[in-house]
A and B are shown apart, each in its own frame.
Chain A
Amino acid sequence: MSAFQDTMIITQRQLRLLTRVPEVLIFSTIQPIMFVLLFRYVFGGSIDSGQPGGYVQLLMPGIFVQTVAFTLAGTAAGLAEDMKKGLIDRFRSLPISQSALVLGRTLGDSLLNIVVLAAMGITGLLVGWRPSGGLLNTVLGFLFLLGFGYALSWVGIFVGLSAKDARVVQNVSFLVTFPLTFLSNAFAPTTGMPRALQYFAEWNPVSTMVAACRELFGLENQFGATAGSFPSENPLITSILYMFLIMAIFIPLSVRKYKRVSH
């Protein structure tokens, strides 16, 4: 089981980095909390949610998904940094399981997500968010979010290993995640978008994730389930399929890339 131990040691390193640079943890938490407050009080008044309890009920799942989607950038940037400093070469010259470094990093980033989601959840509760799907479903919703973040961190691994420069990584990750999270039902109804974008938004994994979470948190309005497409009718199943699809593509790609990096 040395592959497992190696992975745990790398995960420990990730966590230790958080204790050494607490700013990372603080800012990864403050940013989503800021989003919750801004959206809640800036848009909350003007967007008609048709929802008892108001916009914040719809908003919270949207921001949860957006936040875990941004995991991608963190994973990618951290890895690119390790590459730049030559740390990857050190790890690769050690007699350890070749996948331990990337595996450990994805696990470490998921643990960070737990903390961030908890902080956001509490903030949400303070500003009026009331999940009403029952305890089990609520827990399931959070597990879903963690799973989605984990799948995306593998995309981050791939981006991080592919990039030549850590700053490029930030930009690329931003370019991928920002449109994805906004061309969705996360913050506003998709029905107001041009027709072509509506299709995109409905098939967008972010939308299906948001819709799935809304379902699990006990909401009806999906913010854009108008077209009657498969993903908007079955957001839970579609989301699970997406997660497995992302991992099925990016885990082998990343491991392969890691083994051959700089070859």
Chain B
Amino acid sequence: MKSVIAEDLVKTYDKGNVKALDHLSLDVEEGTVLSVLGPNGAGKTTTVRILTTLLRPDSGRASVAGIDVIKHPEKVREIIGLSGQYAAVDEILTGYDNLVMFGQLYHLGKKQSILRAEELLERFSLTEAAKRPIKTYSGGMRRRLDLAASLIVKPKVLFLDEPTTGLDPRGRQEMWGVIQELVKGGVTLLLTTQYLEEADQLADEIAVIDNGKVIARGTSDVLKKEVGGERLEVVVESQHVAKTREIVEKVSGHSASVDEGLRLVASPVSTGSAALFEVLKALDAAGIHALDVGLKRPSLDDVFLSLTGHVAEVKVAEDLETPAGSKRKKEKTR
């Protein structure tokens, strides 16, 4: 059964001048994780906002757990959880206050809200910080509390909009751990991300979107296959690069690329390990010693590049290393 269905969603901004969603369709099977992967401005957040009743599409249909999002938004709100870059908690209140307040707003009753808050704080390792205002929390703690707030009533479908954007590598790892726990518990999850690695790690299925459209979808393995087969890579001493290139091209039947700096020769191959063996044999015969050799499957980066014709966002870690990087990040999310 499909838990989330979006059909032909169109959303334009600025009187039709900016097309955020261009007949986007996707669905999520119950109990699975779909990652919506795309660069900034691809339409990820718009999609989530429509599915979570925050935004009305210009046209198209959407339903969550069989309930029409446009016709019965109030019923959808009862069964979803939303967390992410744009759904926040009250910074001035403590973590505990926030969770109790949201519990009450979910109509749990005061007592039940308190119990649930304590339970969630414990589960997300926030018990110690419970009585501190959110503004004293680290980025990772904030996101965990935010996630906790979206789990108060055990939602049927959970939406996480870029749950790790802006986190440092450690915060990201922690968040992944928490999400993986949830997934094990069998929640239906729609997760957006601009990080290929994240989609690869967390999702059963990936929908790649660009310019408001789904341009590819499938498991990470399927997507990688779509881009092409494996690549053979050999690193040799610099004086042997030219000769190695000749050998590799002869075996693979394709032209090889050379990175002089890395002394790396690479070429697509269709025969896998047989090609690898052949190349090694030929190198040996020519008296060339391979420093490193291997078969590489395409990364999701390659997938993205070949699907969209442009490179995906730079990785978080690189982005946050320099102050300039983190500043850039802030400006982008604004």
Residues of A within 8 A of B (CB): 2, 5-6, 9, 12-13, 16-17, 20-21, 85-87, 89-96, 262-263
- Complex Cα distance, B53 from A93, in Å, reads 7
Cross-chain pairs A/B with CB under 8 angstroms, 30 sampled = A2-B107, A5-B107, A6-B105, A9-B104, A9-B105, A12-B101, A13-B90, A16-B97, A17-B93, A85-B88, A85-B91, A86-B87, A86-B88, A87-B88, A89-B54, A89-B87, A89-B88, A90-B87, A90-B102, A92-B53, A93-B53, A93-B77, A93-B87, A94-B106, A95-B106, A96-B105, A262-B49, A262-B55, A263-B55, A263-B56
Contact of A90 among B89, B91, B92, B94 (CB under 8 A): B89
Closest-by-CB residue of A relative to B101 is A13
Counted as pairs of residues, one from A and one from B, with CB atoms less than 8 Å apart, the total is 67
Interface SS majority for chain A = helix
The smallest beta-carbon distance between B312 and chain A, in angstroms, is 24
In the complex, B226 has a CB within 8 A of chain A: no
Of B78, B94, B97, the residue contacting A95 (CB under 8 A) is: B78
Interface membership of B52, Cβ < 8 A: yes
Interface residues in B61-89 (C-beta closer than 8 Å to A): 74, 77-78, 80, 82, 85-89
Chain A CB within 8 A of B33 CB: no
- State how many angstroms separate the Cβ of B299 from the closest Cβ of chain A: 32
Contacts of A89 in B (CB 8 A): 49, 54, 82, 86-88
Which range contains the number of B residues in contact with the other chain?
20 to 34
The answer to whether B88 and A17 have CB atoms under 8 Å apart is no
> Cα distance A93–B93 when bound, in Å?
19
| Complex contacts, B91 vs chain A, CB 8 Å | 85
In addition to A9-B101, A89-B88, 8 A-B residue pairs with Cβ atoms within 8 Å of each other are A5-B104, A9-B105, A13-B90, A86-B85, A86-B86, A87-B90, A89-B49, A90-B87
**How far is it, in angstroms, between the C-alpha of A12 and the C-alpha of B104 when the chains are bound?**
11
With a cutoff of 8 Å between Cβ atoms, the chain A residues found around residue B276 in the complex are none
Report whether A16 and B93 are in contact in the complex, using a CB–CB cutoff of 8 Å. yes
Closest residue of chain A to B109 (Cβ to Cβ) is A5
- Bound-complex Cα distance A91 to B78 (A): 12
Interface residue ranges, B against A (CB under 8 Å):
49, 52-56, 74, 77-78, 80, 82, 85-94, 97, 101-102, 104-107, 133, 149
Report the bound CA distance from A16 to B80 in whole Å. 27
Q: A21 contacts B82, CB within 8 Å?
A: no
Contact status of A92 and B54, CB under 8 A, knowing A9-B101, A13-B101, A86-B88: yes
A93-B52, A94-B102, A263-B56 known; A87+B77 contact, CB < 8 A: no
B105 neighbours in A (Cβ, 8 Å): 6, 9, 91, 94, 96
- Inside 8 A of A12's CB, which chain B residues have their CB? 101
Q: Which residue on A lies nearest to B100, using beta carbons?
A: A9
Q: Report how far A13 CA is from B92 CA in the complex, Å.
A: 10
Alpha-carbon gap, A91 to B82, bound state (A): 10
B215 to chain A, nearest CB (A): 26
Cα of A140 to Cα of B104 in the assembled complex, Å:
35
B133 interface neighbour in A6, A20, A85, A87, Cβ under 8 Å: A20
What distance in Å separates the Cβ of B109 from its nearest Cβ neighbour in chain A?
Answer: 10
